[in-house]
Structure 1
Amino acid sequence: MATPAKKTAQRHGFKTGEHIIYPSHGVGLITAIEEQNVAGFSLELLVIEFDQEKMTLRVPVSKISSVGMRKLSDAATTKKAFETIKGKPRVKRTMWSRRAQEYEAKINSGDLLSISEVVRDLYRADTQPEQSYSERQLYEAALDRMAREIAAVQKLSDSEAVRQIEQELAKAPSRVAKASTADDADDQEAAA
């Protein structure tokens, strides 16, 4: 049986009304801190709501660090994430199944910089070949996670954050150069 939630309570640096990152689910909002008796033990729980998944999670305060829950990234980390996505994609020459597992692990790590690496590596411009279904799924999952954290940090809507990320991806020097060489090749073919 749950006792009434405490108003604006704080535990281990986390307080009600604060957005947090839960690694396997992304951005959540701490709505309450409550106590429950489970098997004769009194547990203090953080109640976290995830609007995107329409889910509520109760995390024991004692498990906060072991599950990897953390505060939102600061401005310096988000800036570094944008610098990461502008970099040259690093695609290993291993089997797709192995790379997919690594990408999935990075996404579920909850680390913004790791997620931005997945976004950078799986992004395809309009001038590039199409992605496979599984590549597209992983890209969209990483983009969604990154956008939701950027949106929470910068107080934007999710769609504004996605637009901002995609604009930065399009500006990446390696992609701009590839797009212009593709245009040059088309111009040369047309002239011939």
Structure 2
Amino acid sequence: MSKTKKSEFRPNDYVVYPAHGVGKIVSIEEQEVAGLTLEMFVLSFEKDKMTLRVPTDKATVIGMRSLASPDMIDKAMTTLKGRARVKRAMWSRRAQEYEQKINSGDLILIAEVVRDLHRTDDQREQSYSERQLYEAALERLTREVAAVSGGDEAQAAKQVDEVLMSRAA
């Protein structure tokens, strides 16, 4: 295995892993798997008390990416301001689509889910599964906004909430 291609990811970088959201690269270590020595990123997801090992040569293929740029955060906020687009499909099909968007790791798609599932107090009640998907998307969005701004999650949640409320007004 050649070490010529240097990865764009370094220890202590915050990255987005599609299925789990924002994590931190704690180290890069070598591990023997089935007789092969693989170089692995060791990702820590503090909130979920989870550690993940990702082969360095597979990281980009599986969609691991750097945190969004401030510009991308602005685009996500603009997406939140848009009108909710709810398809007339059956809930099971829509839920599957929302799930795919959340697990894509794409900030804009995650913002779409938050926008489409957000309810103001005077709107109809959310079903349990709607609320679950909404909260999962909101958490992913908020964590990345917090990580990019270097602020805390409470501040990021307030920022996202203000955008959603301004839309309702």
Aligned to 2:27: 32
- RMSD value over aligned CA atoms? 1.1
Give me the identity figure in percent: 55
Aligned to 2:137: 142
Shift in Å, 1:66: 1.9
1:126-165: CA deviations, max 9, x gaps? 1211111111111000000000000000011112111110
Larger Rg: 1
Distance 2:136 2:100 in 1: 12
1:50-72: CA deviations, max 9, x gaps? 01110111111111122110000
- Secondary structure in 1 aligned to 2:89? coil
Distance 2:8 2:16 in 1: 13
Moved more, 110-119 or 126-135: 126-135
- Secondary structure in 2 aligned to 1:65? coil
Equivalent residues, number: 165
1:90 to 55, 71, 85: 85
2:55 to 52, 60, 66: 60
Aligned to 1:159: 154
Distance 1:104 1:161 in 2: 22
Shift in Å, 1:38: 2.1
1:80-123: CA deviations, max 9, x gaps? 00000011000001100100000000000000000000000000
Moved over 6 A (4+): none
Match runs of 1:93-172 below 5 Å: 93-172=88-167
1:48 to 38, 43, 50: 43
- Determine which structure has the larger helix proportion and give its number: 1
Q: Which has the higher relative contact order, 1 or 2, with Cα contacts under 8 A spaced 6 or more apart?
A: 2
Distance 2:148 2:157 in 1: 13
- Decide whether the 8 Å contact of 1:147 with 1:162 is kept in 2: yes
Shift in Å, 1:11: 4.2
Moved more, 61-70 or 12-21: 61-70
- Secondary structure in 2 aligned to 1:81? helix
- Secondary structure in 2 aligned to 1:24? coil
- Decide whether the 8 Å contact of 1:21 with 1:70 is kept in 2: yes
TM-score of the superposed pair, with normalisation by structure 1? 0.84
**Structure 1: runs of 5 or more not aligned:** 1-9, 177-192
- Secondary structure in 1 aligned to 2:133? helix
- Secondary structure in 2 aligned to 1:127? coil
